[in-house]
Amino acid sequence: MKDDVTISLEAEKLHVREIAKKYDIFESELEPFGKWVAKIESSVYDRLKDKPNGKLILVTAITPTPFGEGKTTMTVGLVDSLARIGKKVMGALREPSLGPVLGMKGGATGGGYAQVLPKEKINLHFTGDIHAITTTHNFLSAAIDNSIHFGNPLKLDLEKITWPRTLDMNDRAIREIETEYRKDKFIITAASEIMAILCLAKDIKDLRSRLGDILIGYDTEGNEVHARALNIIDSMIILLQDALKPNLVQTLEHNGVLIHGGPFANIAHGCNSIIATQTALKLADYVVTEAGFGADLGAEKFIDIKTRYLGETPSAVVVVATLRALKYHGMVEGLSDLEALKIGVSNLEKHTQNLKNFNLPYIIALNKFENDSKEELEWLLNWAKDNNHPISLAEVFLKGSIGGEDLANQVVKLAETKREVNRVYDLSDDLFTKVSKIATNIYGATQVVYSPKAERKLIALNEIYKDYPVCIAKTPLSFSNDPKRKGLPHVFDLAIEDVRISRGARFVVVLTKGIITMPGLPEVPNATKMFIDDLGNISGKL
């Protein structure tokens, strides 16, 4: 089988105008970026806002492993498979971040015969949205320091400035810095509150309100100071106005996908934008989207944060698993592959139980690869049948849409009856209760243990922001704080180290022990496996 980059570069692509026509998008509503990519004007949603929404399908997964489970591959494959069985369908995905693309993870445009195109553009600079977010974030940082330089009229306490700087790159050397004016730090752009705001804002009016509400620090009397006090909100909107528009691309089989926004699910809310999702729901009868990392992180935040602002909940959920990943979670020295699979399946069981508690209909999508053992496949299929778990053996990576027909048909049946979703917590719960409910019900923790600093901060925030959703920042590699414990349920206390308010995003961020908001590069970065020849032809792992 050809590698992903070769498949994508050899693929025949339709002009983006042709993709738009399939969804009744007018040419006047397109802002093309070359032949294969275009931004969608807000007039599309305005024109269709009274049209009934399509059905929303969420793709999530088991606990991640170093191999990847193929969540984006399955999302893209399901889009193509639903189209194959005659459904009008559109995908809604996040934009890849350059940090992981050049670092450990590599690209995030699917794989095999289930990819979005143009792969190299999407994975790298694309339409400049992430650069616009980075620039806007850092302009606010510069404006804060400029205000301090010219006499500090806002009377900011230099020890209590909460707004950091950002960069869309893994660079551990700048996690903590000191400027001429104050101690500071960098976070990766995917963790920026501007990224979260762009993904949760419904329009420019909402964007204006959220940007103005950003907490930049406290004054010398202990009062909050917000970004609007600097009188630069309009300039921030101008920097973001193009980035606020979703990006239209296509799959290998020429179906439309809106790619927009890119927050991480371990340190942010991990979903594509509200604007892209609500636009797709008007353009198609089925919209397939995904939430980052496993169902414990991404799906929980999708339900408890994104859908509260979106006003729409999933009609069905697809849980992606692979034999390789399940064996990884169950493997200890001396076990056979089948024995490891029988242990590792407990990870899948926990994620499906969480979805049952949400009252969401789900199906397991077993992402099949060429070297999968027939014995292991049969065991897992029989396990699912014996335990009443809907399951489909999906071969979209190997075969494209024809390999996902069974999954598509089952998803359509699951989505026929909309259910009322059970959320993990009520907004009326206090912040401590919200954290406890997520930790015990979703992760399986015995209790939550706070550092003195975290407890002090959460008590203070609870006085003002009690009704906000909670976004828990945690390792994606385990149900607990400890990434070395793999993804098996076990007895643990969830340790909380710090708490922050994302006032513009309108949620409270709770950081667990060990979480890092500026990753570092691995010893051998993925960038060393990417190549380009003198004619500009790209190859390798992108």
Per-residue pLDDT of 60-71, as tens digits, reads 999 998 877 899
The pLDDT tens digits of the residues spanning 148-167 come to: 999 999 999 999 999 999 99
Mean pLDDT estimate for the chain: 95
- Place 431 in a pLDDT band, splitting at 50, 70 and 90: very high
The owner of tokens 């528009």 is 245
258 and 110, same domain (yes or no)? yes
- For residue 425 the two structure tokens come to 């917590």
Last residue of a domain, one of 367, 384, 414: 414
Task: Please give the annotated binding residues, written as ranges.
Answer: 65-72
Look up residue 291 and give its DSSP letter: B
- Kindly state whether residue 537 falls inside one of the protein's structural domains: no
321 and 273, same domain (yes or no)? yes
- Place 320 in a pLDDT band, splitting at 50, 70 and 90: very high
pLDDT of 104 above 90 = no
224 and 149, same domain (yes or no)? yes
283 and 295, same domain (yes or no)? yes
- Kindly state whether residue 520 falls inside one of the protein's structural domains: no
**CATH number, residue 445:** 3.10.410.10
- Kindly state whether residue 538 falls inside one of the protein's structural domains: no
**What is the rounded CA–CA span in Å between residue 199 and residue 44?**
18
**CATH number, residue 388:** 3.40.50.300
Instruction: Give pTM, 2 decimals.
Output: 0.95
pLDDT of 107 above 90 = no
Residues 6+ apart with CB under 8 A from 426: none
Look up residue 403 and give its DSSP letter: G
123 and 135, same domain (yes or no)? no
19 and 144, same domain (yes or no)? no
- Place 346 in a pLDDT band, splitting at 50, 70 and 90: very high
469 and 508, same domain (yes or no)? yes
pLDDT of 538 above 90 = no
Q: Taking the CA of residue 347 as centre, how many other CA atoms within 13 Å lie in the half-sphere pointing to its CB?
A: 34
- Kindly state whether residue 46 falls inside one of the protein's structural domains: yes
Count of domains forming the chain: 3
The pLDDT value recorded for residue 128 is 96
Handedness of CA 420, 423, 425, 426 (dihedral sign): negative
The pLDDT tens digits of the residues spanning 353-385 come to: 999 999 999 999 999 988 999 999 999 999 999
Rounded mean pLDDT, 192-203: 97
pLDDT of 106 above 80 = no
Last residue of a domain, one of 176, 203, 237: 237
- Kindly state whether residue 420 falls inside one of the protein's structural domains: no
- Kindly state whether residue 540 falls inside one of the protein's structural domains: no
Percent of the chain with pLDDT over 90: 87
462 and 445, same domain (yes or no)? yes
- Kindly state whether residue 517 falls inside one of the protein's structural domains: no
The pLDDT tens digits of the residues spanning 217-242 come to: 999 999 999 999 999 999 999 999 99
Question: Residues for the chain: how many in total?
Answer: 542
> Which amino acid appears at position 418 of this protein?
K
The pLDDT tens digits of the residues spanning 277-306 come to: 999 999 999 999 999 899 999 999 999 999
Rounded mean pLDDT, 395-400: 96
Residues 236, 464, 157, CA angle at the centre, nearest 5°? 60
Is the Cβ–Cβ distance between 73 and 4 less than 8 Å?
no
pLDDT of 396 above 80 = yes
The pLDDT value recorded for residue 67 is 79
Task: Please give the annotated binding residues for ATP, written as ranges.
Answer: 65-72
Last residue of a domain, one of 200, 215, 237: 237
> Which domain range does residue 440 map to?
431-512
pLDDT of 214 above 80 = yes
- DSSP character string of 55-123: EEEEEEESS--TT---HHHHHHHHHHHHHHTT--EEEEEPPPPHHHHHSSS---SEETTEEEESHHHHH
**CATH number, residue 224:** 3.30.1510.10
192 and 333, same domain (yes or no)? no
451 and 402, same domain (yes or no)? no
175 and 311, same domain (yes or no)? no
Q: Measured in whole angstroms, how far is the alpha carbon of residue 108 from the centre of its chain? A: 11
260 and 212, same domain (yes or no)? no
- Kindly state whether residue 78 falls inside one of the protein's structural domains: yes
- DSSP character string of 158-174: EEEE---EEESS--GGG
- For the chain, the C-alpha Rg in angstroms (whole number) is 23
